[in-house]
């Protein structure tokens, strides 16, 4: 395969872009498109970097889900939305949500523990904690189930 000057420049920029942090193929595509590289060169670069495993959407999804479950305690629906926006397929998202055991109820219980839900007597404070959970993407029914389980423990 003959490598054009455009291909070499695009590949170099893509590698620089993914050196800072892991990126999806869509993110790399969008960055190269923004830098006005030709479509055919962008596709070749992404294909090559995927073969070299510099770009790996499955690994990205796995690490993204694991990291966000631990640190940000986001709901599965928010995680799904964020990954979809990064160009990850539903199959990959479903696979790692299931594999990593992402449970909305468990995540809500962790939030309740962190926010000292039991020690909060004030109705408004409890409502604020519920609203906080809703902003994290959890459904009100899951929040109520988690509170019930949390109070029983």
pLDDT tens for 49-64 read 999 999 999 999 999 9
Higher confidence at residue 136 or residue 54?
Answer: 54
| Integer Cα distance of 28 and 135 in angstroms | 29
Same domain as 81, residue 44: no
pLDDT tens for 65-96 read 888 877 877 888 889 999 999 999 999 999 98
The secondary structure of residue 138, as a DSSP letter, is -
Number of folded domains in the chain? 3
Is residue 24's pLDDT more than 60? yes
Same domain as 66, residue 42: no
Average pLDDT over residues 36-40: 93
Q: Quote the domain boundaries for residue 110.
A: 104-152
Per-residue DSSP letters for 55-121? Answer: S-HHHHHHHHHHHHHHHT---HHHHHHHHHHTT--HHHHHHHHHHTT--HHHHHHHHHHHTTTTT--
**pTM passes above 0.85:** no
């Amino acid at each position: 395969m003959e490598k054009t000057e455009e291909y070499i420049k695009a590949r170099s920029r893509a590698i620089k872009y993914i050196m800072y942090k892991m990126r999806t193929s869509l993110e790399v595509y969008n960055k190269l498109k923004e830098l006005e590289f030709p479509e055919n060169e962008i596709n070749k670069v992404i294909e090559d970097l995927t073969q070299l495993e510099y770009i790996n959407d499955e690994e990205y999804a796995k690490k993204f889900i694991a990291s966000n479950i631990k640190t940000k305690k986001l709901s599965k629906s928010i995680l799904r939305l964020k990954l979809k926006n990064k160009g990850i397929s539903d199959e990959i998202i479903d696979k790692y949500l299931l594999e990593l055991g992402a449970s909305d109820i468990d995540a809500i219980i962790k939030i309740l523990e962190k926010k000292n839900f039991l020690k909060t007597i004030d109705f408004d404070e409890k409502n604020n904690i519920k609203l906080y959970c809703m902003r994290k993407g959890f459904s009100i029914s899951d929040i109520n189930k988690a509170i019930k389980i949390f109070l029983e423990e």
